[in-house]
Amino acid sequence: MTSYFKGKSAIVTGAAQGIGFRICQELLSRGTKVILNDYNPLFLQQARDKLSEYTNLLTVEGDASDESIVNQMVSLATDKFGGLDFAIANAGLTVMGDFLQFPVEKLQRMLRLNLEGSFLLSQAAARLMIEKGTGGRIIFMSSVTGVQAHQDTEGYGMTKAALRMLAKDLGSKLARHGITVNCVAPGATLTERTISEEGYAESWSRVIPTGRASNTEDIANACLFFLGPQSSQVTGQTLVVDGGWTNISPLPPELYK
């Protein structure tokens, strides 16, 4: 399996921490050349420091919903790596709040990053993959909130459900070019952000059938499946990684009062 990934190239957005960072780490360890993007310069430097053993890593600072940043990453993949095999649109913004009071500026920011950024990366990546004639893999990062209704996530859930539809549409459109397009939909996952929330791991563990919240490795493994050779006949699909939570969908009462 490692030999399959060796020498291939990838772009991962929003990847200085959490799920995106773990995806980069797993790809780099398998010999994939990676462009790691994040908007936060401090987090980006910390990611570079943690991955300093890898010479096959490039970083791009900037907003993943900015077309110029997307084009910069794709041009870098062309110039430095000779093309692009994997595009993982991981960058996203989670904002929860009462639907009746939800600020339009927060909604617009989520729409721009979660949807426009994912659309632009997949578009630019697909163009390059088609031009090179090499095929490729595109992954969107959805969420269980795009599969199952969830309290106070109407705007966020809408963006994540839209990514599932985009994967279906592009999976059909790009298949003839040897490009697959799929979604990973994480449930409650332990990251730098969620670990800082008091009681997060314990509360979710009580309502998830497997008895624990997911970790970043669980989500990265789902991505590796979609990127790997075993999934060559899988496109337009969403893989939910949530320990079975969406089967019954109970909320931790102490977190959602």
* Average pLDDT value over all residues in the chain: 95
Active site members? 156
| pLDDT value at residue 119 | 98
| pLDDT value at residue 32 | 98
Tokens linked to 247: 């089967």
In the chain, DSSP assigns E strands to: 9-12, 33-38, 57-61, 86-89, 136-141, 179-186, 189-190, 214-215, 238-241
| pLDDT value at residue 233 | 97
* pLDDT tens, residue by residue, 1-39: 679 999 999 999 999 999 999 999 999 999 999 999 999
| pLDDT value at residue 252 | 83
* pLDDT tens, residue by residue, 119-137: 999 999 999 999 999 999 9
Is 176 within 8 Å of 126 (Cβ atoms)?
Answer: no
* pLDDT tens, residue by residue, 173-207: 999 999 999 999 999 999 998 988 888 999 999 99
Tokens linked to 113: 């990053």
| pLDDT value at residue 190 | 95
Nearest to 156 by CA among 122, 186, 114: 114
What is the rounded distance in angstroms from the CA atom of residue 157 to the CA atom of residue 22? 23
Q: What are phi and psi of 170, to 5 degrees?
A: -70, -30
Torsion of CA 164, 170, 176, 181, to 10 degrees: -40
Is 87 within 8 Å of 55 (Cβ atoms)?
Answer: no
Residue 229 DSSP label: G
pLDDT(257) > 80: no
CATH homologous superfamily of 2-242: NAD(P)-binding Rossmann-like Domain (3.40.50.720)
Nearest to 245 by CA among 195, 186, 194: 186
What is the rounded distance in angstroms from the CA atom of residue 153 to the CA atom of residue 132? 40
What's the mean pLDDT in 205-227?
Answer: 96
Give the residue with greater pLDDT, 93 vs 2. Answer: 93
pLDDT(227) > 90: yes
| pLDDT value at residue 255 | 65
Give the contacts of 115 (CB within 8 A, at least 6 positions apart).
Answer: 159, 162, 163
Is 84 within 8 Å of 78 (Cβ atoms)?
Answer: yes
* pLDDT tens, residue by residue, 47-65: 999 999 999 999 999 999 9
What's the mean pLDDT in 95-107?
Answer: 95
* pLDDT tens, residue by residue, 142-168: 999 999 988 889 999 999 999 999 999
